[in-house]
A and B are shown apart, each in its own frame.
Chain A
Amino acid sequence: MQEEKNIRVLTGNEACAEGALAAGMRFYAGYPITPSSEVAEVLAVELPKIGGVFIQMEDEIASIGAIIGGSLAGVKSMTATSGPGFSLMQENIGFAAMAEVPCVIVNVMRGGPSTGLPTLPAQGDVMQARWGTHGDHPIIALAPFSVAETFALTVRAFNLSEKYRTPVILLLDEIIGHVNEKVNMPDTTALEIIDRIPPAVAPDKYLPYEHTECGVPPMASFGQGYRFHVTGLAHDETGFPTNSGREIGRLIERLHRKIEQNRDDIVEVDAFMMDDAETALVSFGSTARSARHAVRLAREAGKKVGLLRLKTLWPFADKEIRAYAGQIKNWVVAEMNLGQMAHEVEWALAGAAPVKRLNKVDGDPISPAEILQALPE
Chain B
Amino acid sequence: MFNYDQYLRLNKFPLIWCSGCGDGIVLKSMLRAIHKLGINKDEMCMVSGIGCSSRLTGYVDFNTLHTTHGRALTFATGIKMANPKLHVVVVTGDGDATAIGGNHYIHAARRNIDITVILFNNFIYGMTGGQVSPTTPKGKRASTAPYGNFENAFNISGLAQAAGASYVARATVYNAVQLEKYIQRAIEKKGFSLVEVLSPCPTAYGRRNREGTPVDMILHQKENSIPVSKAESMTPEELEGKIITGVLVDTERPECRTEYQRLIDHLKEEK
Contact = CB atoms under 8 A, between A and B. Distances in A.
Interface string A272-313: 000000000000000000000000000000000000000000
Interface footprint category on A: 35 or more
A74 B83 contact: yes
Interface string A59-76: 101111111111111110
B15 interface: no
B58 A223 contact: no
Contacts of A113: none
Interface in A21-37: 26-27, 29
A370 to B, nearest CB: 43
A224 interface: yes
A29 B71 contact: no
B74 A61 contact: yes
A230 B79 contact: no
B41 A55 contact: no
Interface in A88-108: 91-92, 95
Most chain A CB within 10 A, of B68, B73, B263, B268, is at: B68
Interface in B31-77: 41-43, 45, 47, 57-58, 61-68, 71, 73-77
A55 B47 CA distance: 19
A95 B42 contact: no
Contacts, number: 138
B42 A227 contact: yes
Contacts of B75: 65-66, 68-69, 72
A48 B260 contact: yes
Given A53-B260, A62-B104, A227-B41, A222 B79 contact: yes
Contacts of B263: 48
A138 B77 CA distance: 27
Contact of A223 (B66, B85, B264): B85
A51 B264 CA distance: 6
B58 A229 contact: yes
B36 to A, nearest CB: 20
A240 interface: yes
Most chain A CB within 10 A, of B9, B43, B65, B85, is at: B65
A229 B57 contact: yes
A131 interface: no
B162 interface: no
B78 interface: yes
B176 interface: no
B79 A53 contact: no
Contacts of B85: 223
Contacts of B83: 73-75, 221-223
B173 interface: no
A57 interface: yes
Interface of A: 26-27, 29, 48-49, 51, 53, 55, 57-59, 61-75, 77, 91-92, 95, 221-233, 240-241
22 contacts: A49-B267, A51-B268, A58-B104, A59-B103, A61-B71, A65-B67, A66-B74, A69-B47, A69-B82, A72-B78, A73-B45, A73-B78, A77-B82, A92-B68, A222-B83, A222-B86, A223-B45, A223-B83, A225-B42, A227-B64, A229-B58, A229-B66
